[in-house]
Amino acid sequence: MKRFTSARISQLLFLALFLVLFVQTEYRGNDQISAAVNSFFRADPLVSVSYLLAEKSFTWLIFPGILVLALTILLGRFFCGWICPLGTILDLITGRIRKTAPIRALKRNLKYFLLIPLLTCSLFGVNLTGLLDPMALLLRALSFFFYPLVGDTVRQGWVALYRIMGERRDLLAPGYDIVRDYVLPFRETFYPLAFLSTALFLLILFLERYETRNWCRNLCPLGTLLGIAGRFSLFSRLPKKLCPDCGACRDLCPTSFDRDILQKEECILCMECQLHCPSQRIRFSFSGISAADGPYLPERRLILGGVVTGFFLARFFRFRSPEAQVRILRPPGVQDEGEFLRKCVRCGECMKVCLRSALYPAILQAGVEGVYTPQVIPRLGYCEYNCTLCGQVCPTGAIPNLTSEAKKRAVIGKAAFNKNHCLPFAKKVNCIVCEEHCPIPSKAIRSRKMAEVANDGTQAVIQVPYVVDELCTGCGICENVCPLEGKAGIEVFAVKDRTPLREYGNNKDILPEQGKKNDPYSG
């Protein structure tokens, strides 16, 4: 019987937890999501460190990540060997992949040339760490590709059953309802960048061809960061080198024994060596730091080179596409584009959780550095008035976690009619579907009756809509439900000033009738 180390059991538990939380990151009948997969990002030191560097302020949201970093200084890279779900997936599949020789180009200092520029870039205000964060990579592949694929496949199967069985399918409905309500995504949403996300994930798996944990030891910026912290750790494997008479560790160890000496920053504390040591010599204990552990920091030229690269990278991204910021619609509560870009991890949770599938990853719409950041596309989905889920699941507060009351006032943009398309203007017929759907209690879209000459020359009284800018939040339901096909007759445009709608008087409701005096448009 195969024996499991405690590390492997912990890995499997955390992977299961990750997947359960992933499925839980969806509206399942409650306004509040009690636990979401964002916990993993809040405990992610790379996210925490880059947030601190970029935002230069502290929030308790990232505290768990700082804690993990502190524990790493004490214990070493336990995160990689005990927690990281991507690492677990690699461990689970690597046994089935035949290895060729390691890639030499990866063996040099490439990982430092990824981590140091990324962090420097953050320091100068361009936070790109989410692009290479292992959990973000995994989550994006899941949310943009695998999960929608599973959802769509099951759904298609369910529809096919209806074609075959007709109404008798109802016999199976209770079972399907449970799967739909607790496991599947509710909507079949397809995302741009699905293939890129999957390709990156598969590439990481593919790298296992060359050596075990290839991504983890040669590329992963989170692993590299934890490795640097782990060099200081007091907890260590003993003995710190291969025993001259055995050397079995060379094969047992997934990460560290490339050379004959233990490289502490690579040791992920999986403890396979202890379990399988033929002569029971190996133990893990607090040993203090000794000179044999090597230098604490990477070589100076690496650090300097990395910093300079990062600096120029950050400067380079200052050349933002000028029109990008003007057109892009951000999730509710995001007021400042720069701050949003500095905080966003690009984990994709907001897009996954979005009730009406209004959020999609930007490709280049927000500029090169905005890739994978969420944007609202109202024609595909609108922001539901009472919903606050995206703010709840955002790990770093890039999308603020607003109360329902505050969220209802948060401005995404402002709607405007296109008179060449909108039916009452262009075709002189009644419509008003937008006004009907506008969720603002006193209506940000209103209409007045106008005597018009219809296109056939007859007189007609048409209800002509208009937008009350002071009440419009840009939720986009108007653009979404506009019965015109293709281009809507009303569209939401981004605005620079996203100050929340003001409250009128003591009444908490938005522009109640009592507030009529204050509101020139009320009527």
Partner 1 sequence: MNRRAFLKTVGFWSLFMEMSVRNLFAREQAMVAVAEGSDHARTTRKALAALGGMKRFVKSGNVVVIKPNMGWDRTPAQAANTNPVVVRALAEEALAAGAKRVKIFDRTCNDERRCYVQSGMKDAFKGMKNVELKFIENERFKKVTIRGSVLAEWELYGEALSADVFINVPVAKHHGLSKLTLGLKNVMGVMGGNRGSIHKNLDVALADINSVMKTHLTVIDATRILTAHGPQGGNLADVKVLNKVIASTDIVAADSFATTLFGMKPAEIPVTVAAYRRGLGEMNLNRIKVVKV
Tell me which residues touch partner 1 (CB under 8 A).
27, 29, 159, 162-163, 167, 173, 186, 355-356, 384-387, 423, 427, 429-433, 435-443, 447, 463, 481-483, 485, 509, 512-514
Minimal distance, residue 195 CB to partner 1, in Å: 27
Tokens of 114: 């990824």
> Which of 324/429 has CB closer to partner 1?
429
Q: What whole-number distance in Å separates Cα of residue 507 and Cα of residue 346?
A: 38
Token output for 372: 């994978």
Nearer to partner 1, 373 or 442 (CB): 442
Q: From residue 253, give the alpha-carbon distance in Å to each of 127, 242, 250, 268, 312.
A: 34, 11, 6, 9, 38
Nearer to partner 1, 305 or 515 (CB): 515
Nearer to partner 1, 85 or 476 (CB): 476
Buried b / exposed e across 225-254, counting CB within 10 Å, b at 16+?
Answer: bbbbbbbebebbbeeeebeeeeebbeebbb
Structure-block tokens of residue 520:
């020139």
> Would you say 115 and 221 are in contact if contact means Cβ atoms under 8 Å apart?
yes
Complex with partner 1: residue 241 or 516, whichever CB lies closer = 516
User: Which CB sits closer to partner 1, 218 or 392?
Assistant: 392
Helix or strand holding residue 461 (H, E)? strand 459-467
Identify which of residues 335 and 430 has a Cβ nearer to partner 1 in the complex. 430
From the list 399, 19, 439, 377, the residue with the least C-alpha distance to 189 is 377
Query: To the nearest whole angstrom, how small is the minimum distance from the Cβ of residue 405 to partner 1?
Result: 13
User: Residue 332 Cβ, how far from partner 1 at the closest point, in Å?
Assistant: 15
Shortest separation between residue 516's beta carbon and partner 1, angstroms: 11
For the bound state, the minimum distance from the C-beta of residue 383 to partner 1, rounded and expressed in Å, comes to: 11
Question: Torsion angle, CA of 366/368/372/375, rounded to 10 degrees?
Answer: 0
Reduced 3-state DSSP string for 223-290: HHHHHHHHCCCCEEEECCECCCCCCCHHHHCCCCCCCCECCHHHCCCCCHHHHHCCCCCCEEEECCCC
What span, in angstroms and rounded, lies between the C-alpha atoms of 476 and 492? Answer: 6
Comparison of 344 and 510: residue with beta carbon closer to partner 1: 510
Closest by CA to 34, choosing from 24, 42, 23, is 24
Neighbour tally for 455: CB within 10 Å: 11
The answer to whether the beta carbons of residues 361 and 373 sit under 8 Å apart is yes
What single letter denotes the amino acid at residue 115? Answer: L
**Cβ 281 to partner 1 shortest distance, Å:** 59
Nearest residue (CB) to partner 1, 177 versus 323: 177
CB 375, min distance to partner 1, A:
20
- Contact (CB, 8 A) for 127 and 56: no
State how beta strands 283-286 and 235-238 pair.
antiparallel
CB of 430 to partner 1, least distance (A): 6
Smallest distance, Å, CB 326 to partner 1? 30
Minimum distance between the CB of residue 181 and partner 1, rounded to whole angstroms?
Answer: 9
| Phi, psi dihedral angles at 247 (to 5 degrees) | 80, 10
Contact predicate 273/249, CB 8 Å: yes
> Considering beta carbons, is residue 247 or 483 the nearer one to partner 1?
483
Least separation in angstroms between CB 249 and partner 1: 53
Q: 């992933």: which residue's tokens?
A: 22
Q: Could you tell me which residues are beta bridge partners of residue 284?
A: 237
Q: Which amino acid is at 332?
A: P
Longest dimension (CA), the chain: 102
Of residues 242 and 390, the one with the C-beta less far from partner 1: 390
Comparison of 386 and 499: residue with beta carbon closer to partner 1: 386
In the complex, the smallest distance separating the C-beta of residue 513 from partner 1, rounded to whole angstroms, is 5
- H, E, C per residue of 224-237: HHHHHHHCCCCEEE
Q: Residue 132, SS3?
A: helix
